[in-house]
Amino acid sequence: MKFGISTFITDLSTRPAPLGRAIEERGFDSLFIAEHSHIPVDRRSPYPPGGELPDIYYRTLDPFVALTAAATVTERLLLGTGIALVSQRDPFHTAKEVASLDLISDGRAVFGVGVGWNREEMANHGTDPATRGKLVDERLRAILELWTKEKAEFHGEFVDFDPVYAWPKPVQKPHPPLFVGGGKGAFPRVAELGDAWLANSVPPGVLAPQIEEVRALAGRAVPVTVYGVPATPEAVEGYAQLGVERVLFYLPSDPGPAALAHLDQFAEVAARFR
Each residue's pLDDT tens digit in the chain (274 positions)?
999 999 999 999 999 999 999 999 999 999 999 999 999 999 999 999 999 999 999 999 999 999 999 999 999 999 999 999 999 999 999 999 999 999 999 999 999 999 999 999 999 999 999 999 999 999 999 999 999 999 999 999 999 999 999 999 999 999 999 999 999 999 999 999 999 999 999 999 999 999 999 999 999 999 999 999 999 999 999 999 999 999 999 999 999 999 999 999 999 999 999 8
Helix axes of 256-271 and 233-242: crossing angle, nearest 10 degrees: 50
The per-residue b/e assignment along 13-42, b for 16 or more CB within 10 angstroms, e otherwise, is bbebbebbbbbbebebbbbbbbbbeebeee
Cα torsion 173, 20, 112, 57 to 10°: value is -160
List the one residue out of 252, 205, 207, 265 whose CA is nearest residue 14. 252
Residue pair 77/26 in contact by the 8 Å Cβ criterion: no
Residue pair 20/73 in contact by the 8 Å Cβ criterion: yes
Question: Residue 220 and residue 214: Cα distance in Å, rounded?
Answer: 9
Name the DSSP class of 165: -
Q: What is the pLDDT of residue 7?
A: 98
**pTM here?**
0.97
Name the DSSP class of 72: T
1: Cβ contacts below 8 Å, ≥ 6 apart = 236, 239, 240, 244, 245, 246, 247, 273
